[in-house]
């Protein structure tokens, strides 16, 4: 007498259409051989029994192909049901990939250049340091100019060497002022490239008072 082992849970079971569709889609998308355990582990929303039944039905309908390796069955999507690409379409895709690769390389190079430029600018002075240094230069320049104005009003005769020293100091401070202002504006320009608002709004948000806001202009050199 022979006995046949039958899984009573599978007999008469109806596979939910969504489960069957998900199993078929998984095989089609991955497009490689899988065992029942592989599919069950991948589709965690369904139990092993219902997945097994879905695979059997898909194999019977020809959507899946069954292969037996030793005692283990593996299944693969029927390759004849996959879309076939013609040579011209593949060539267009390859050209598009090449074009996008070139564009990506250009953007990466541009990003690297901007990063190096930003690093070079920010390595000199921070925004706070540049602002403090600029304020110091402006203060010193105002002091010198006030002293010159005071002496002129008093009508004091200034010796040529004293005048030369004062004007030289003014020119030196003016040059430093221009230099520090240029550094500060370079930093602001670098930050403004990635700022979501305008450069003017950035200056306002940070709370920087520019020379123009204060009505200050560079004195003329001799």
Rounded Cα distance between 97 and 107, Å, is 15
- Any idea which fold 17-81 has? Arc Repressor Mutant, subunit A (1.10.10)
| Helix (H) or strand (E) segment spanning residue 83 | none
- Per-residue pLDDT, averaged over 79-98, amounts to 77
Question: For residue range 74-85, what is the model confidence (pLDDT) as tens digits?
Answer: 999 988 887 776
Question: For residue range 52-66, what is the model confidence (pLDDT) as tens digits?
Answer: 999 999 999 999 999
Return the pLDDT at 8: 38
> So where are the chain's domains?
17-81, 83-122, 160-214
- Separation of CA 79 from chain center: 39
Nearest alpha carbon to residue 207 among 188, 189, 222, 220: 188
Higher pLDDT, 4 or 82: 82
> Poorest-confidence range of 35-39, 49-53, 66-70, 207-211?
207-211
Is the CB of residue 167 less than 8 Å from the CB of residue 144? no
Global pTM value: 0.37
Question: For residue range 135-191, what is the model confidence (pLDDT) as tens digits?
Answer: 888 888 888 878 777 767 766 566 677 667 777 777 777 788 788 888 888 888 888
Length in residues, the chain: 222
Rounded Cα distance between 173 and 180, Å, is 10
Return the pLDDT at 22: 94
């Amino acid at each position: 007498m022979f006995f046949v082992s039958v899984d009573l849970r599978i007999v008469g079971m109806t596979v939910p259409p969504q489960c069957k569709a998900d199993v078929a889609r998984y095989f089609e998308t991955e497009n490689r051989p899988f065992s029942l355990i592989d599919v069950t582990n991948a589709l965690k929303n369904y139990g092993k029994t219902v997945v097994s039944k879905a695979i059997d039905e898909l194999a019977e309908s020809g959507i899946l192909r069954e292969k037996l390796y030793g005692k283990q069955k593996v299944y693969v999507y029927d390759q004849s049901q996959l879309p076939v690409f013609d040579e011209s379409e593949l060539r267009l895709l390859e050209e598009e990939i090449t074009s996008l690769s070139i564009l990506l390389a250009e953007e990466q190079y541009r990003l690297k250049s901007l990063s190096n430029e930003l690093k070079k600018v920010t390595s000199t002075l921070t925004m706070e340091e540049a602002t403090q240094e600029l304020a110091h230069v402006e203060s010193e320049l105002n002091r010198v100019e006030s002293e010159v104005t005071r002496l002129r009003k008093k009508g004091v005769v200034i010796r040529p060497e004293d005048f030369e020293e004062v004007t030289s100091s003014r020119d030196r401070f003016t040059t430093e002022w221009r230099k520090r202002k240029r550094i500060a504006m370079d930093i602001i320009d670098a930050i403004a490239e990635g700022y979501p608002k305008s450069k003017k709004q950035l200056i306002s948000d940070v709370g920087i008072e520019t020379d123009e806001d204060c009505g200050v202009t560079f004195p003329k050199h001799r």
